[in-house]
Chains A and B, each alone.
Chain A
Amino acid sequence: MLDVQPEASARYDELYGADGQPRAHYEALAATLTALKRDEVLGRVRAINTALLQRGVTFTVYADQAGTERVFPFDVVPRILTALEWERIERGIAQRVRALNAFLYDVYHGERILIEKKVPRDLVYSSKGFNREMIDLDVPRDIYIHISGIDLIREPSGAFLVLEDNCRTPSGISYVLENRDALKRGLPDLFANYAVHPVDDYPSRLLDVLRYTAPRGALQPTVVVLTPGIYNSAYFEHTLLARRMGVELVEARDLIVVDNFVFLKTTSGLERVDVIYRRIDDDYLDPLYFLAESSLGVTGLMNVYRAGNVTLANAIGTGVADDKAIYRFVPEMIRFYLTEEPLLENVPTYDCTDDVQRRHVLDNLDRLVVKNTNASGGYGMLMGPFASAEERESFRDLIESNPRDFIAQPVIELSSSPTLIDGELAARRVDLRPFALYGRTVDVPPAALTRVALREGSLVVNSSQGGGSKDTWVLQAE
């Protein structure tokens, strides 16, 4: 039998309440887990992993030149959210995405928020994601962030906080879809007594958004997914989404710009493309305007975009909205553009460009998490309490020479969820990445990714740093 026991600590336990008993919505799951034979569960887990490997549900890690394909570790114990919890998350995220989108429109047009000094102009203009070609450029439906992933963590009180916004090319939905599939087939017993929202309509919702944001005049818009190719770490996701949406997966060499429109090169001639869901960074999109060495881009694409003849999802230049240095102004954006109070709060954040705050950060490096504003994937980060003295010193130097490149946050005790480690259940920390789709409205499908830090005591959940994922169940309302 799998032994399901609570562990004492200062963090929020997803499964266990303060009384040491499973929370109401986990009772059925806890009972099922206790009743199942350990060997059988482990056998099913092995079968699930084999199936994932055979299907190629992998990501690629590049430690050196050659990349190794790895299955993204999947833990079979689901993480459950009640309908009420989800509703709050949904509303908070929709609000946040609307504000971020409005911010993008503003910084590329009237700059009201900068003129009124709510956000420092210097921070925006020095942001690597701020793209000057987008100044005064109108995008279809004024939608910049078609797809976003807003990372949430649960603090000890049980409240969700926003850890980070991802507004460029957020990934992970492929694991959500494949994990659910694998769990339904491998361990259907777990689902007994639960009414879980299905996740597999995400691709059709995404397609709706992409079609909705096609340029005016495109009656039956042609949508494509643009991938850098098989060597990209998220390639599997690109193929999955293209296939499930029923659209072509293309690489740069399949596209050509003619007379300010984008066309697909097919064996029977050119076909016009109206919407490109591009999984390529801004800098690589067009060698004529951005990085000249890029072979992943489509020459002349920027001019087609400028003329309003193609939709890019997400728009170029959204990186300024998920810049970590801009993150702490998002609550202000919500007030400024929506005249509402934020429904989801930020993690408290220190601005290293402010003298007083920087002093505080440097004096407390052993207690803070320091993040590089230009990095992602868990790289360029200092976990103060777990780092060595040398690591802290090197960050001290970096912060002092380039304060704009760093922010700091207190260590938040992430919530934990029981996870199968070496055949036993143990508490491991988790976060939550819901995805938001901005079309007619901001839609937050109940298809979120829970990432789990597989290493004991670790608070870092990224795939490249020893993370895995869990199936996330959003329960239907009673």
Chain B
Amino acid sequence: MEYTIQHETSYFYPETVYESYTVLHLQPRSDPNQFCTKYDLQISPSTRVQAYLDRFGNDVQHFAILPRHRSLAITTHSNVVTLLDSEPSEPVEATRALLDADERVERMYDFLHESSYVQFTPELAEFWRELDGPGDAIGAWCRRVSQHIHQAFTYDGEATTVRTTVEGVLRARAGVCQDFAHLMIAVLRSAGIPARYVSGYIFGGDSRVLGAEASHAWCEAYLPPYGWVGFDPTNERLIDDHFVKVALGRDYRDVSPVRGVYRGSRLSEMSVNVAMDVLQGSPAYQEQQQQQ
């Protein structure tokens, strides 16, 4: 499938601000399962943009707006081709034995330990009691964790904020995709399964999915023999061709779409708009149509 995505983030400041420095994780990744065929970044007021590749392989852009301004608008237009299956199969062959034998796990310290949003607190230990133990079939177990989170928590945009950690989610028993992803990661890591955070987009189309028209978040678990397998606890599904990956990291802190520091009044109003469509007329689309 090929998608075209427009992602707009705007800030409005009641009092002028200046010396504003911003870091973006908005460019969709290219990897064996997807490529980004177009990425266009517009910033207003206009300014020079610098870029680098971070340690997770994310394409990061950053810029500064030094003179006084009252608003900031960041718009990206991306086209992404995804090669994932529309109906991925369950990772049933992933076992603890295979994980223990995999040499690469040794180098995954960051995906096995706490990070800013993911803490192993007493609330998490409490939550463990609601789950059955992982056992050897860890692939199936991850799926069950995802299902449990989906059932036991309410999707509620008002219950948490962008700064809520796992502890806060467990207390609220509610949240949004960012929170469920963090929670699932916390559970997996405390079971010794490497887990990482993914930000991106989910295509709704005609069906109702949570997280469409916005930045979406899910998690990936390292499950040999498959490698990294994606789970979306918010919508309770495996990652398929409706998903576009933008960035990955330990948690939200590593992949925040827009993060910045500026001088001036603390007050600001923010609005985000994401529009995602199938790119009709693209070869991938044609192929899809032909298959049906």
Contacts and interface: CB of A to CB of B under 8 A. Distances in A.
B55 A122 contact: no
Contacts of A307: 50, 52
Interface of A: 111, 121-122, 125-126, 132, 135-136, 256-260, 287-288, 292, 299-300, 303, 306-307
Contacts of B19: 256, 299
B64 interface: yes
A256 B50 CA distance: 16
22 contacts: A111-B107, A121-B107, A121-B109, A122-B109, A125-B109, A126-B109, A126-B113, A135-B55, A136-B55, A256-B19, A257-B21, A257-B64, A258-B64, A259-B48, A260-B50, A287-B261, A288-B261, A299-B21, A300-B64, A303-B50, A303-B52, A306-B52
Nearest to A289: B23
Contacts of A257: 21, 64
Contact of B261 (A126, A258, A292): A292
A431 to B, nearest CB: 35
A303 B62 contact: yes
Interface in B102-131: 106-107, 109-110, 113
Contact of A288 (B48, B66, B260): B260
A234 to B, nearest CB: 27
A292 B66 CA distance: 19
B259 interface: yes
A105 B28 CA distance: 31
Contacts of B52: 303, 306-307
A292 B19 CA distance: 15
A122 B78 CA distance: 39
A223 to B, nearest CB: 24
Given A299-B19, A306-B52, A307-B52, 10 more contacts: A125-B109, A256-B19, A256-B66, A260-B50, A287-B261, A288-B21, A288-B261, A292-B261, A299-B261, A307-B50
Contacts, number: 42
Nearest to B254: A132
Contacts of B107: 111, 121
Contacts of B109: 121-122, 125-126
B63 to A, nearest CB: 10
Given A258-B64, A307-B50, A125 B110 contact: yes
Interface in B241-270: 259-261
Contacts of B259: 288
A306 B55 CA distance: 12
Contacts of A132: 55, 110
Contacts of B66: 256, 258
A128 B109 CA distance: 14
B110 to A, nearest CB: 7
Nearest to A137: B55
Interface in B46-105: 48, 50, 52, 55, 62, 64, 66
Contacts of A111: 107
A135 B48 CA distance: 25
Contacts of B48: 259
Nearest to A256: B19
Contacts of B110: 125, 132
A125 B114 CA distance: 11
Nearest to B110: A125
A288 B113 CA distance: 23
A306 to B, nearest CB: 6
B55 A300 contact: no
